[in-house]
Structure 1
């Protein structure tokens, strides 16, 4: 592997990331809050550290290979989680310990939305803005943004793109050049963010809240500037806007690219993954509304309102809240958490295992039933009328197996720290699926759990964001062999 080239890339990207600390500095100056020095110091530390990493290897050149791409991606998210935690650690408010600051930083960057903060409404505006900005940068992936500028840095970006992009098929490009693909994705992402912010503002949010919530909505991050999340506004219009953009951003962004390029929207309904995703959402909403109304938890109008928002929020792994779903009757809390395992579509900002993988697993299961009847028949797995390669099907099963094993190991690890079964089960689901809220002791926030549990959940968030294999491959001996 080209370790000097990798070090040069990391140094450059850390310096690029330091620029993201300028907007919070501006916000701090506007609102004259107490976090100004924390952001100035953090900006200087990031910039100097990146420069010192880059300086000794500044003349190194070379194309990144597959293994280089995996290592850069994992290092970038872990290193960035560390450097991103500095404003939380240095600020007088919220005055976090290092573990808590790191947890909050990684949660934002991975768009998990799990928080250890309380009394969020009272925090400095710049800290609130920075949390949302971290989520927004992590939504599309800072690595994908970096790929867009790689040609200017003299570094090939294809391996980074393949390592970072979610979904079972990672070789497809929207445009002939990978840098153009990254730019196209970020143009769409930024446009959706701007439209979402304008919608929130028009619906009654302040300009600050509108911008902040547009960041975490489009990123499907779930961070809010208020303890009560979207429920703080108690506005049907705001909830409808939020619901719409959560669904839109849980679609495959290739569909948005096609809509932008061809000025058409009919392909959304023709896409099998999008149709299956909408089917899951619809079924969850109907079942949730019926249970809430028939158990007299809410009147019919509120039952439908809360069912729509919470079902979409949890299923897309956004994690916004308008009601405490953890206290809902019967199986509803469990059901909603389970939907987060499915998550959004491939190449979306959503978390979970991705809809296309679940669809392929179901079709593979159906094929095995058919083979019991016709043992000698050749029955391909098809999606949208097209046969899926056996290599892809087996890779999906491998991913599913690894996901399940990691989930069990992490849950047992959390229970070993003293957490009860419900808290441990939901905490792993909330972090591995990049969802945010859980059940039990982590229903409101993660402040009450121990440091050991928080470190394990940081690892879980990174696993979920990097789709398990990208991180686990570094722990295999074969990866480090020449």
Structure 2
């Protein structure tokens, strides 16, 4: 029986898991004696499970022709179409919003963007739990898809170190090549999901011990592991765990800087040690350098404060900068409880452009983080460094060998192509949002928030919070398209639609 279930298409499996997951908020609502919300989730689970079962039975004898591109298409369909089903119980339980708002909210959660279309006090605990669960499942989907779908196709950042063209197989991932790609997805899921679940439970317990409510701790734990930035509070800085909880959370955010922090199933470079991983080292440099520059800028402006008060406030401001920088670099988007101190202690406002830049850079390859990815930035840095050396010594020979030479040449070329595609997508979505009535700052923030999958940017980057629910309906759909594009990446979309999949 299990073998027959696992042979079903990836999209059907995702729909079945989504239907089963609705039983959790249904049980939660019934436990809180909220029968209306409980019925909405229970009926949706039964309806969805029945539809999945009927489709599975109807196609039981069909010839299965699945390939790498078929799974990539299923991943794209899951991110774009599956929220239509996920939004059904949310819409029925809330009852005071449009189905479009519910759909875009679920797209935001599933793509781990975490852009909130509703105020926190408008949603019940059950609906907050459902948002957190959808974001957490989206993070798990990306974890598994990175190793099982994107890596064999040299997409999602793997094209930087691969020898084959993006969208084609490479001997580097030959150990993944099997007659049936579906079996590879199941095998990778069995290997990675216990790690994902274990880390989430550990963070949940630690945050609860630190003082957070169990529900808040659970949602924040799921949000950190998925880098979704979803919170049941008005701001993550309102959490009762305070600085202690943030210190614990920061340790788990490091998993978004490099795949090597939790797994070696997809090696992005020839260096297998974490201390030699360029992504992790570059991420730490940014986490230390950006808050230090902000700190020094603020310190110069606050020299007139009393010494003892200045030192204490400075330390709090430094921590606020460190945590918030790491949060936005990992595309989580949590704001530190001391971030207000970091902004106000010197009387100088910190420009939100810094966090827009950090979110654009993003985290590591094959993690739940979005953005351009640190490995691509590292490849462009190596290439730029080599070009500067050639300006000084035109006849010099590069000292790097092996994989470093590959990254510096072909890898940098592919990284530059991706960066240009990202820039063009950013310009396009900015113009579209501006065309629907948003000012330039708001349009740019929306475009970067969607393409980098960092939803909290809409509340912290601009001078005034962007209210997503007030956008025009077409602008909301455009924002949903930007989130799907940012999660799957433009290079994967191009590889998908230029393949022979649709010609058949």
Smaller-chain TM-score bracket: 0.7 to 0.9
Shift of 1:418: 0.5
Q: Aligned partners of 2:215 and 2:67: how far apart in 1?
A: 42
Distance 1:242 1:272, change over 3 A: same
Q: Which residue of 1 aligns with 2:130?
A: 130
Contact 2:451-2:486 at 8 Å conserved across structures: yes
Structure 1 window deviating more from structure 2 (123-132 vs 392-401): it is 392-401
Instruction: Give the Å deviation of 1:193.
Output: 0.7
Q: Does 1:304 align with 2:318?
A: yes
Does the aligned pair in 2 maintain the 1:8–1:60 contact within 8 Å?
A: no
Report matched runs for 1:11-26 at 5 Å: 11-26=12-27
- Distance in 2 between the 1:61 and 1:336 partners? 49
Which shifted more, 396-405 or 328-337? 328-337
Separation in structure 2 between the aligned mates of residue 54 and residue 445 of structure 1, nearest angstrom: 41
Instruction: State the Cα distance separating 1:107 from its structure 2 match.
Output: 0.7
SS in 1 for 2:453: coil
Q: Distance in 2 between matches of 1:54 and 1:316?
A: 38
- The alignment status of 1:214 with 2:210, answered yes or no, reads no
Are residues 1:195 and 2:214 paired? no
Structure 2 gap segments, 5+ residues each: 1-5, 163-169, 179-183, 266-271
Q: Say if 1:7 and 1:53, in contact at 8 Å, map to a contact too.
A: no
Q: 2:38 aligns with which of 11, 23, 36?
A: 36
Say whether 1:434 aligns with 2:459: no
Q: Which residue of 1 aligns with 2:381?
A: 362
Q: 1:319 to 1:43 in 2, by over 3 A?
A: same
Contact 2:253–2:327 (CA under 8 A) maintained in structure 1: yes
Q: Deviations over 1:278-333 (max 9, x none)?
A: 00111112122333444459931331132122111111110112346999945531
2:172 is the alignment partner of 1:168: no
CA distance in 1, matches of 2:109, 2:263: 26
Distance in 2 between residues matched to 1:474 and 1:6, nearest whole Å: 22
SS of corresponding position for 1:317: coil
1:8, 1:57 within 8 Å by CA — same for their partners in 2?
no
Q: Structure 1 residues 474, 390: closer, same or farther in 2, change over 3 A?
A: same
Q: Tell me, yes or no, if structure 1 residue 66 matches structure 2 residue 56.
A: no
Structure 1 residue 470 displacement after superposition: 2.2
Greater CA drift, 388-397 or 455-464: 388-397
How is 1:288-327 mapped onto 2 (pairs within 5 angstroms)?
Answer: 288-296=294-302, 299-322=313-336, 323=339
Contact map agreement 1:144 1:164 (CA 8 A) in 2: no
Structure 1 residue 256 corresponds to structure 2 residue 251: no
Q: Secondary structure at the match of 1:58?
A: coil
Q: Give me the whole-angstrom Cα distance separating, in 1, the residues matched to 2:322 and 2:463.
A: 25
Change (3 A) 1:329 1:460: farther
Shift of 1:175: 7.3
* Residue equivalent to 1:281: 287
Q: 1:330 to 1:472 in 2, by over 3 A?
A: farther
Counterpart position of 2:484: 462
Provide the C-alpha distance between the structure 1 equivalents of 2:465 and 2:487, rounded to a whole number of angstroms. 21
Shift of 1:231: 2.4
Question: C-alpha distance in 2, partners of 1:10/1:245?
Answer: 30
Please, what is the CA RMSD of the aligned residues?
3.3
Question: Which is worse superposed, 442-451 or 169-178?
Answer: 169-178
C-alpha change, 1:389 and 1:336, in structure 2 (3 Å) is closer
Query: Within 5 A, what are the aligned runs for 1:85-124?
Result: 85-92=87-94, 95-118=96-119, 120-124=120-124
Moved more, 342-351 or 413-422: 342-351
Q: How many residues align?
A: 459
> Which TM-score applies when normalising by structure 2?
0.82
1:77 maps to which of 69, 74, 79: 79
- Asked if the contact 1:64–1:159 (Cα under 8 Å) also holds between the matched residues in 2, the reply is no
Change (3 A) 1:68 1:473: same
Contact 1:173/1:181 (CA < 8 Å) preserved in 2?
no
**Gap runs ≥5 in structure 1:** 148-156, 260-265
Report deviation, 1:224: 0.5
Q: Deviations over 1:257-295 (max 9, x none)?
A: 259xxxxxx932221221111001111121223334444
1:238 and 2:252 aligned: no
Q: How many Å apart are 1:382 and its aligned residue?
A: 6.3
Secondary structure in 2 matching 1:82: helix
